[in-house]
A and B are shown apart, each in its own frame.
Chain A
């Protein structure tokens, strides 16, 4: 039953409506399964659990450690959960390691990130894991803000028009943020020039502040924590990627309500574009960030163990003490996505990425991954 939901895929324009119906069913099913699972709740007494993460940054690892501290309280036997970093290969190292070594006994779980999902979907070299068989236990969303430096002609959302001219857009490597910027600015009549190779947010900010670079993007929470600082450096927000509500609508994140979404700006520029491939790609980008991080158990894990984990992480994430601690540590609560929603977002996203548009040779592939420049003959 759980596997069925894990692997279920929605396609086409009826997806939002179907998603709502499905969510209701999933919720009911989940409650039933939880009830069933309680009868045979796995006991983790005296067990040690390893939770892998592809990240090594202090924020990400600490956030997961804090969450798992509360999740452990809701697993029978209160096992010790150790967070272990398996950094490298844009998330592929952790995913491969997890697929190769984790036994389906509930003692090894892993966070996998969006680059690992993309690598899987487009069949990149070195991928030795199959996400479709893994068990989703939760998800975490990410919201990004696209920003302008002092040398950009567009200093706010009203500047997204043809008069902006060609502007440089800085990033570490191509991804859905880059794709969104390219589609939106192209629609505005001012295509951006993507500049890859920045080491990270810090170097993008430095280049924006020095005036070398026009546009970039930043994780919304990092933006919020540095608002005053960035204002002093003349760095301004233009639009945000937004969040999805339960019905699949793109909403402004409540923390930056005054910043419009890319979706809003796009439809303002092209009111009749909803059926186009560009608009679909834009929505895919936004929905993929709703599962920027997925939390998994290995393929073949018993349903009772999977349910125990789903319940534990859910209760942990909703624990007022955890919310308070996370907010105290980072200044905002965890962008938690329950497993059913996460599973649906993931499956939708993976299915979309399997479409020819995102596969090698397609325009979407070019936008999110890029291709080697061929030498002119």
Chain B
């Protein structure tokens, strides 16, 4: 009882930090910057950190931290906007959202999809904050229960889910994921740092850069099709942009159990260092599809396909903060930069952060929660105009979008290689789109290939082959992979046979998510 009061007291003190002067106005500035970075495909949180850290360091520690966390917390909220409106994920963490969000926009439900995503983000962070409170006593055991083999299996799960859920065919999805894995092999080889498939092209030594590939694969095909059609994005002339506010909330409330499950998975993925938003997103999307009576509706504009990944990705943010502040082990690249800033500010990570400095930790978590709420309100205000993009003529929209995407693609490296990759993958993306080869698994393979390789080699180097049979968590995750990826098509095949449809060609597929890849 006494412990609960201490936690409650720290939670309240943390909330006071957030609304104190000048923490709140600085957080607001951070939020505005973060919203802009999420909105423009190709930018994102890491660029935000690079831009804002010099300003943050001139502030008082808690103000500076709120400024930076405010920025990073909302990037994944506004990255939904291009994912839904244009079908182009603003960051790689919005790919699953675009699978169902873009089809919704096409049928004139962009407002509903966006509002559903904002509410899901808010609920996701709240659930993550609640989980943090609940898990405080066993946090250490949870975080250190995972080793390299479990990391590898979780990466594999994320990859398999992406391969099986994004597209018409399980086989095609897995082939594209394999193609992505092959692309991820282009880098410096792990053990001796020698170039692998990169030759003397130093541009490729750090791997094929993700942003030009994502933007090329998704933006160019959509823009070309739009130019060819010469119409607007939305196929309907009925403007439903105002109706989304209420409909999005109702969608969330109806799916409260899905939100809790997706957020829990997202927060747990955040607790574990090195996994990141993409895994959280696909675990959440996977749970939505697996628990739905009509899995075939995903990819065609099922709002649950928007809610689950948004809640998962949002919950991952406060989740990733926990190992960063408690153990000094950053959960992702953004948190690594945040950790540097914490240390510069004299905020030393450690067990103190969940004992004597618990109010500061709560302050950070509340910043993420409050930032998401504020960003949602701001986005709702802006939405009225943003959705107009769906109703703009192609002749106006195409050059603007192409220019923005090209700028975004080259922003990080400022290299001609970015332009070449952008165009090359744009061509491939167009081919893939029109021949029904899903593009999302390719990106997931590229993102997770490097991680999967490292964790696989580390697993064998540290544990030999024994990790394959003597680690219970590995078996649990393997079972989840089987049940979520391979079992559903097997079950459908069996049912079809049982109902006398065995004569029809038995197409072994995933959950038949058609997606905008159709």
B352 nearest in chain A by CB position: A228
Interface core residue of B202, B206, B323, B327 (most chain A CB under 10 Å): B202
B192/A93 in contact, CB under 8 A:
no
Within A56-92, the residues touching B (CB, 8 Å) are: 56-59, 62, 65, 87-90, 92
Q: Does B133 contact A (CB under 8 A)?
A: no
Please state if B205 and A126 are interface contacts (CB–CB under 8 Å).
Answer: yes
Interface string of A178-212 (1 = CB under 8 A from B): 00000000000000010111111011011101111
**Of B122-130, B287-295, B334-342, the one with at least 4 CB within 8 A of chain A:** B334-342
B200→A125 contact, CB < 8 A: yes
The interface-forming segment of B141-149, B303-311, B392-400, B475-483 is B141-149
Q: Is the CB of A57 within 8 A of B340?
A: yes
Q: Which residues of B contact A245 (CB under 8 A)?
A: none
- Would A205 and B203 count as touching, CB distance under 8 A? no
Report the nearest A residue to B326, measured CB to CB: A229
A93→B202 contact, CB < 8 A: yes
**Closest B residue by C-beta to A58:** B340
Let me know if A197 and B458 touch, CB within 8 A. yes
Q: Could you say which residues of chain A place their CB within 8 Å of the CB of B344?
A: 58-59, 62, 329-330
Q: Which residues of B contact A59 (CB under 8 A)?
A: 340, 343-344
B199: chain A residues at CB < 8 Å are 125
* Docked CA distance A207–B462 (Å): 10
Among residues of A, the one whose C-beta sits closest to the C-beta of B340 is A58
Residues in B neighbouring A331, C-beta threshold 8 A: 343, 346
Expressed in whole angstroms, the minimum distance between the Cβ of B329 and any Cβ of chain A is: 5
Residues of chain B contacted by A93 (CB below 8 angstroms):
202-203, 205
B21 CB, min distance to chain A CBs, angstroms = 24
- A303 interface hit (Cβ, 8 Å): no
0/1 string, A119-132, CB within 8 A of B gives 1? 00000011000000
Contact present for B202 and A126 (CB under 8 Å): yes
Number of residues in B with C-beta < 8 Å to the partner?
Answer: 49
The residues in A between 220 and 236 inclusive whose CB is less than 8 angstroms from any CB of B are 225-226, 228-230, 232-233
1/0 contact string of A225-256 vs chain B (CB within 8 Å): 11011101100000000000000000000000
Asked if B277 is an interface residue, CB under 8 A from chain A, the answer is no
Q: Please, which residues of chain B bring their CB within 8 A of the CB of A370?
A: 191-192
Q: Tell me whether B508 is interfacial, beta carbon within 8 Å.
A: no
A34 CB within 8 Å of chain B: no
Nearest A residue to B453 via CB reads A197
Question: Which residues B82-116 have CB closer than 8 A to chain A?
Answer: none
Within 8 A of A (CB), among B165-206: 188, 190-195, 199-200, 202-203, 205-206
The reply to whether A212 and B462 form a contact with Cβ atoms under 8 Å apart is yes
What distance in Å separates the Cβ of B281 from its nearest Cβ neighbour in chain A? 20
Q: Which residues from chain A contact B349 at a C-beta distance below 8 Å?
A: 226, 229
**Contacts A173-B192, A226-B350, A228-B350 known; A88 to B203 CB distance under 8 Å?**
yes
Cα distance, A229 to B352, chains bound together (Å): 9
Distance between A321 CB and nearest chain B CB, rounded to angstroms: 16
- In the bound complex, do residue B462 and residue A213 qualify as a contact, i.e. CB atoms below 8 Å apart? yes
Residues of chain A contacted by B454 (CB below 8 angstroms): 197-199
* Chain A: minimal CB distance from B360 (Å): 15
State whether B205 touches A88 (Cβ < 8 A): yes
Q: Mark A320-331, 1 if CB is under 8 A from B, else 0.
A: 000000000111
| Interchain nearest-CB distance for A315 vs B (Å) | 23
B57 beta carbon closer than 8 Å to chain A? yes
Distance (Å) between the CB of A128 and the closest chain B CB?
9
Docked Cα-Cα span, A230 to B329, in Å, equals 11
Instruction: Identify 30 residue pairs between A and B in the complex whose beta-carbon atoms are under 8 Å apart, listed by A's number.
Output: A58-B53, A58-B340, A62-B54, A65-B54, A88-B202, A89-B202, A93-B203, A125-B199, A196-B190, A196-B192, A197-B191, A198-B458, A200-B336, A202-B328, A205-B329, A206-B144, A206-B273, A207-B147, A209-B327, A209-B329, A210-B147, A225-B343, A226-B348, A228-B352, A229-B350, A232-B350, A329-B57, A330-B343, A330-B344, A369-B193
User: Which residues of B are in contact with A by a Cβ distance under 8 Å?
Assistant: 49-50, 53-54, 57, 144-148, 188, 190-195, 199-200, 202-203, 205-206, 273-274, 323, 327-330, 336-337, 340-341, 343-344, 346, 348-352, 453-454, 457-458, 461-463
Q: A202-B330, A206-B323, A372-B192 are in contact. List 13 more A-B contacts (CB 8 A).
A: A62-B54, A88-B203, A88-B206, A126-B195, A126-B200, A206-B274, A207-B462, A210-B147, A213-B462, A229-B348, A233-B327, A370-B192, A372-B194
